[in-house]
Structure 1
Amino acid sequence: MSSSGYSPALVALSVAIAIFAAYTALDLGARARGLAGRPALRWLWIAGAAVTMGGGIWAMHFVGMLALEMGMPAAYDLGLTVLSFLIAVGVTGAAFAWVGRAAAGGGAVLVAGPLMGLGVGLMHYTGMAAMRMPGPILYDPALVVASVVIAILAATAALWLAFRHNSVPEKVAAACVMGLAVSGMHYTGMAAATFTAGAAHDHAGPAIAGAQPYLAVGVAGATFLILFVGMLAIAVDQHRIQGELAASEARFRAAIAAVRGVLWTNDAQGRMVGPQPGWAAITGQTPEEYKGFGWADAVHPDDAAPSIAAWNETVAARQTFVFEHRVRAKEGGYRHYAIRAVPVLNDDGAIREWVGVHTDITAQREAEAELRESNEEIQRYAYIVSHDLRAPLVNIMGFTSELAETRSELRATLAGHPQAERIDAEMGEALGFIGAAVTRMERLIAAILKLSREGRRRFEPEPLDMTALMRRLADATRHQAGTRNATVSVAPDLPEIVADRLAVEQIFGNLLDNALKYLDDGRPGRITITAEASGADRVRFAVADNGRGISRNDHVRVFELFRRSGPQDRPGEGIGLAHVKALVRALGGRIDLASEPGQGSTFTVTLPRGPSMERGAPAPLSIAAE
């Protein structure tokens, strides 16, 4: 005898249980993915998802079977009924654990989905086997297969929807798919069964029997209690997450305040919308005044158009915005701000909004202006001093020449005098000392004038083939290298940069000259020039030698004006490396030294790939000892 129908109320209750359980479990399972670093909490969420989903599916199955009006008495084997519950919980837990791994990709759903679907089918037919009726249950194989296929496809689709995104609509859709499909699987499986009347079957364990409606309500009540606890856990976790987000936002705002910055947001098109308290605080603009592109009205007139153009270009390119402009303060006057803004993306890669920070750098720019003015004054002072020193130096040189000419007359006058030879020798020695001092002072004055002129020179950045440039410098030292039994090698394919050609040639020409000058006479000299990228926008050039080396105590000193280290047995005034450092800094770079006595030295020059100053801007050189 086949079934005679279903109770509509219990059928509706079974579907509601399935959907409600699916939503709760999928939400719990999705939370486990982001907890790879907290395994205990991750397994807690997976266990909650397994109990909720497994218990919900089992309850749906139980209520669905109670909804069947068979017209004959039925009971349930306790052992098999409990086993069906454990199967549902265990298999769904395994599926959630697999798909919820932090490293799980899209293919994980293709494993977890069929696993969960097969588990649902196994739970269903185990529950059917737990039924104790007067006659045997017969199955239609085609419908049995169809019910299992429905379960597999539904579980796969639900897990894909649930773990693809974490939005509420996605979870609702996944829960509906899962709940309806589990119900469809159950009722397809029930349609595959034919219940026949006959002699009662023996069963090994105790059976559960009772009034179907009351039993269904009891199962449903227990199930909704489990789901309520699950939803409560979600609410508690959501409250925790909100607390962490609030704390994170407070820390972020404190960090912004610590760097004298203000935070603002723009929409996906780059327009300022909504309340912007940070921007209003520095400009005094009202929301009506700064909305859209109204913020540009607070920007300095000379900076407004470039700011908007650069901002629109960045928005179109979806890149990080880095800029600098002057903003009118609400107290009056303009202040300098450095700007950095980044796009915030949705899960699908679309820009949701822009978050930016204006950092007040007025004090820094004022200090830089004062430093430039101070350097210019030093340059002018050096030029004037060195120029004025030349006048008395010329007089000293002239009178020294006259003394040298009168020396022969004095020698003739003192002929026959017992002290004549001593006087002549002492006079010659004194004239030699005076001549050497005058020559040295002349070289120092010439060096100061050279630095002073460099400080007033205007740089002209241009693309530089650094391999060719370095090879030309190496070729220019070929004779000097040959006399020192040294080789100079240049690495191929050095990165190109944009900089002032003469300044770069002076920097590396000086470094090569120094390397050759201070080689160790006891071994063949070896000098190499190499380069490597330093970040996305800088290049690190290295000039290495196997020469004498420099004591660690003198690593800073060698860059000071008129300061030298080691034995003073080579010509020089101690100005070369000071000049190199000033030029490197003027190009927006830095120079570092690594050296050990007897091992050689490596000078590392880090320069921007592109020009670090406006074309034609004077080089901010400083000849002061640093």
Structure 2
Amino acid sequence: MVHTGFNPALVALSIGLAIFASYTALDLGARVRDSASGPRWPWVAGAALALGGGIWSMHFVGMLAFEMALHAAYDLGLTVLSLVIAIAVTGAGFAWVVRRRGDRAGILIAGPLMGLGIAGMHYTGMAALRLPGHLTYSLPIVGVSIVIAVTAATAALWLAFRQHGVWQKLVAACVMGFAVAGMHYCGMAAATVTATETASHAGMTVLEQQNLAVYVAGTTFLILFLAMLASSLDQQRVQQELQASEGRFRAAIEAVRGVLWTNDAAGRMVGEQPGWSAITGQSRAQYQGYGWADAVHPDDVKESVETWTETVKARRTYVHEHRVRSRDGTWRHYAIRAVPVLDARGAIREWVGVHTDITEQRMAEADLRESNEEIQRYAYIVSHDLRSPLVNVMGFTSELEATRAEMRTALQGHPEAERLDTDFGEALSFVKAAVNRMEALIAAILKLSREGRRHFTPEDLDMAAVLQALADAQRHQAEAAGAQVLIAHDLPGIVADRLAVEQIFGNLLDNAVKYLDPSRPGRITVTARSAGPRGICFSVADNGRGIAPRDHARVFELFRRSGLQDRPGEGIGLAHVKALVRSIGGRIEMRSTLGEGTTFDVTLPCRAAKAGLDPAERAPLAAE
């Protein structure tokens, strides 16, 4: 038996190598996992070289740390073979797990295979040892070392394909490094050296201890160099992607005529803000902290600062609108949206916001409102002025009615008296019908012009109850037409003006009943479906006459009617419905097939639209 021991310094170095190799492999393995685009094999090869070569280096540094009173050398062929085994089995394990996308089954298959390969590397390296003596092994301890190798390899693959930061990665590398070192020194503990008188190295190339140390050192430095090179290349790739992403982001901001700015966690503007400086002309010293508020319009500054302060405290998205003084001294309207950027702990790191110039849009809206108001006033004035002579015509018609009676008395007995009375009466009926029609048209124009100035009062509406009440009001007409009106019981509620909603659906139900096909039983249904997170689409469908495709675009036009004109009407109902729907923030569409039926889809907001509550107010563009 030969007395043996270990050099503590080299033992510590071997453990350090195992930890370093483990960390490098984990880092490269993470890049394998994160490379969603591009080839993955370079990172697989790098991870295999780092872990396999690192374990090999650790093994032979551990062998150099093994001290005994015998001259030791190493067979070159077996030494190289042990390195090849380490890299090959490690690469195969990483490749298999990558192919299986890091799932548990793939790791449980590749881990044990990799562990057996690493154990094979260790005992191949032990077999390369040449000394004047014999090596024997304790099989139970060998089994323990293999178990440690399998466990370490499985843990290495599992950790390499998990999400983790630098500190977690370092802790994992330490755990795995100590496990690999434990496997090695457990395998060394299984070996017993018995001295003999001579050692024969005939016919083989051997490495002396000093040469082995040089080769191990070279391998270690090669691993370090390749790891640094891989990290450097990947860092360049990441930097290029970041630059490209930043360029796209800035281009997107410019495309929407926006200005990007950042504030610290407390909501103060700090650092260089070239975008803000470009639009306001403020220097860094002027806009620092809350100095940016000096560029906000005096009428808007108080609300802007207060809402910003409240948003920062509440940690929510900031949405606002105000006027900002430009570099040339003019005031421009900006819509603002800012979001908090959180760190890994969930704390606010900074605020990133965008000012979007909406001056032209607000000016266009003001011009449009002024034009609409002018049109409404003009319609009102014209309708009012037309009604005055119409009243005179109606008055003179009444006088002619009285004159007709006098003429009948005066012409009594005249042979043409009956004919003249009939002609006179027919002419009067034509005049009265024309006057009544003109009165209805003027009333319709006045009604539509008033809708633009109408104020709505939103309230919670149980749509099933509201529409059922409308259907009950139409029951007599529906029964007379032999029709059923079916209202779904699960209609969602909305917040809107009750009268406007009743007028919209009352008109649609009335039209559906009015234009049913007499050749088949009528069926009218009202259903609803979701139209996004903020809207509900109510559908009024019938199996009536339907509307010809050529008339689809004209049904909402004022005074326009389509199809057979056998029902009374002036062609203002659907125009009125469309005006009401738009006034409360919704939209209406129609689908119809001639001879089969018609469906009107009315999409209304779940909550009352601000623009519909008061047409004089504009809805902020920066609304969430």
Normalised by the shorter chain, which TM-score bucket?
Answer: 0.7 to 0.9
Corresponding position of 1:55: 53
SS state at 2:66 partner: coil
Match of 2:543 in 1: 546
| Residue 42 (structure 1) aligned with residue 46 (structure 2) | no
Distance 1:402 1:185, change over 3 A: same
Name 1:559's counterpart in structure 2.
556
Kindly provide the CA deviation profile for residues 460-508 of structure 1, in whole angstroms up to 9, marking residues without a partner as x.
1222222221222222211121112222222223222222221122222
Deviations 1:347-388 (A, max 9, x none): 555544332222111211221222222222222222221111
CA spacing shift, 1:328–1:589, aligned 2, 3 Å: farther
**Secondary structure of residue in 1 paired with 2:599:** strand
Q: Which residue of 1 aligns with 2:534?
A: 537
**3-state SS of paired residue (2:496):** strand
Alignment partner of 2:68: what SS? coil
Are residues 1:219 and 2:216 paired? yes
What SS does the corresponding residue of 1:555 show, helix, strand or coil? helix
Equivalent residues in 2 for 1:503-542, closer than 5 Å: 503-542=500-539
Residue identity in the other structure for 1:93: G
CA distance in 2, matches of 1:263, 1:257: 9
RMSD over aligned Cα, in angstroms? 3.5
Q: Which has the larger displacement, 501-510 or 73-82?
A: 73-82
TM-score, normalising length: structure 1: 0.87
**Separation in 2 of the partners of 1:301 and 1:424?**
78
Contact 1:157 1:177 in 2 (8 A): no
1:372-521 alignment, distance < 5 Å: 372-410=369-407, 424-521=421-518
Report the equivalent of 2:599. Answer: 602
Letter in 2 for 1:186: H
1:186 aligns with 2:178: no
Aligned to 2:359: 362
Separation in 2, partners of 1:501, 1:495: 15
Which secondary structure state, in structure 2, belongs to the residue aligned with residue 574 of structure 1?
coil
Change (3 A) 1:318 1:17: same
Structure 1 residues 513-561: Cα deviation after superposition (integer angstroms, max 9, x where no partner): 2222222222222222222222222222222222222233333321222
1:210 corresponding residue in structure 2: 207
Contact 1:590–1:605 (8 Å) recurs in 2 = yes
Normalising by structure 2, what TM-score?
A: 0.87
Match among 45, 65, 70 for residue 72 of structure 1: 70
CA distance in 2, matches of 1:50, 1:304: 61
Compared with structure 1, are the counterparts of its residues 314 and 620 closer, same or farther at alpha carbon in structure 2 (3 Å cutoff)?
Answer: closer
The whole-number CA distance in structure 1 between the counterparts of 2:360 and 2:315 is 31
* CA deviation map 1:435-457 (0-9, x unaligned): 21111111111112222232222
Name which of structure 1's ranges 147-156 and 338-347 shifts more when overlaid on structure 2: 147-156
Query: Does the CA contact (< 8 Å) of 1:319 and 1:342 recur in 2?
Result: yes
Find the aligned partners of 1:419 and 1:582 in 2 and give their Cα distance: 54
Change (3 A) 1:57 1:552: farther
Q: d(CA) in 2 for partners of 1:367 and 1:551?
A: 37
How do 1:102-501 residues align onto structure 2 when only pairs under 5 Å count? 104=102, 117=115, 119-140=117-138, 144=142, 147-148=145-146, 151=149, 163-165=161-163, 167-198=165-196, 207-311=204-308, 314-315=311-312, 318-347=315-344, 349-410=346-407, 424-501=421-498
Query: 1 CA distance for matches of 2:13 and 2:54?
Result: 12
Does the residue aligned with 2:525 lie in a helix, a strand or coil? strand
Secondary structure of 1:323's aligned partner? strand
Give me the whole-angstrom Cα distance separating, in 2, the residues matched to 1:144 and 1:529: 79
The residue identity in structure 2 corresponding to 1:178 is M
Distance 1:497 1:337 in 2: 32
In structure 1, what is the equivalent of residue 622 of structure 2?
none
Q: Match for 1:387: what amino acid? A: H
Closer/same/farther in 2, CA of residues 383 and 35 from structure 1, 3 Å limit: same
User: Which residue is equivalent to 1:570?
Assistant: 567
Aligned-partner Cα distance in 2 for 1:170–1:300: 50
Q: What's the counterpart of residue 29 of structure 2? A: 29
Alignment partner, residue 621 of structure 2: none
Which range moves more in the overlay, 185-194 or 353-362? 185-194
Deviation at 1:259, TM superposition (A): 0.6
Match of 1:624 in 2: none
State whether residues 61 and 186 of structure 1, in contact with CA within 8 Å, keep that contact through their aligned partners in structure 2: yes
| Worse-superposed segment, 610-619 or 498-507 | 610-619
Encode CA deviations 1:196-219: one digit per residue, 9 max, x unaligned. 22488999x985512111122123
Q: Is the 8 A contact 2:149 2:183 kept in 1?
A: yes
SS of the residue 1:493 aligns to: coil
Maintained 8 Å contact 1:161/1:170:
no
CA–CA separation in structure 1 for the residues paired with 2:543 and 2:36: 51
Give me the whole-angstrom Cα distance separating, in 2, the residues matched to 1:404 and 1:189. Answer: 127
Q: Which amino acid aligns with 2:520?
A: R
| 2:73–2:131 Cα contact (<8 Å) kept | yes
Relative to structure 1, the CA distance from residue 525 to residue 426 in structure 2 (aligned partners, 3 Å threshold; closer, same or farther) is same
Percent identity over paired residues? 67
Per mean C-alpha deviation after superposition, the further-off stretch among 531-540 and 386-395 is: 531-540
Give the secondary-structure state (helix, strand or coil) at the position aligned to 1:358. Answer: strand
| Cα separation, partners in 2 of 1:132 and 1:613, compared to 1, 3 Å | same
Please, which moves more after superposition, 556-565 or 244-253? 556-565
Specify every segment of 5 or more residues in structure 2 that has no aligned partner in the other structure, as ranges: 619-624
Distance in 1 separating the partners of 2:129 and 2:31: 37
3-state secondary structure, aligned to 1:456 = coil
Shift of 1:247: 1.4
Aligned in 2, Cα 1:255/1:123: closer, same or farther, shift over 3 Å? same
Distance in structure 1 (CA, Å) of the matches to 2:190 and 2:292? 70
Structure 1 portions without partners, runs of 5+: 622-626
Pair 167,474 (structure 1): closer, same or farther in 2 beyond 3 Å: same
Q: Cα offset for 1:122? A: 4.2
Are the aligned partners of 2:59 and 2:184 in contact in 1 as well (CA < 8 Å)? Answer: yes
Deviations 1:45-79 (A, max 9, x none): 22321122212212321332244233334455667
Which segment is superposed worse, 78-87 or 520-529?
78-87
Deviations 1:209-260 (A, max 9, x none): 1211112212331442244234313312221221121112111101110111
Change (3 A) 1:161 1:570: same
| Alpha-carbon spacing, 1:541–1:180, altered in 2? closer, same or farther (3 Å) | same
Q: Give the 3 Å change call, closer, same or farther, for CA 79–548 of structure 1 in structure 2.
A: farther
Counterparts of 2:160 and 2:285 in 1: how far apart (Å)? 41
Report how far residue 597 of structure 1 moved: 1.5
Q: Deviations over 1:23-57 (max 9, x none)?
A: 3322221112123454xx12332232112221221
SS of the residue aligned with 1:285? coil
Question: Distance between the aligned counterparts of 2:100 and 2:306, measured in 1?
Answer: 41
Asked if the contact 2:74–2:207 (Cα under 8 Å) also holds between the matched residues in 1, the reply is no
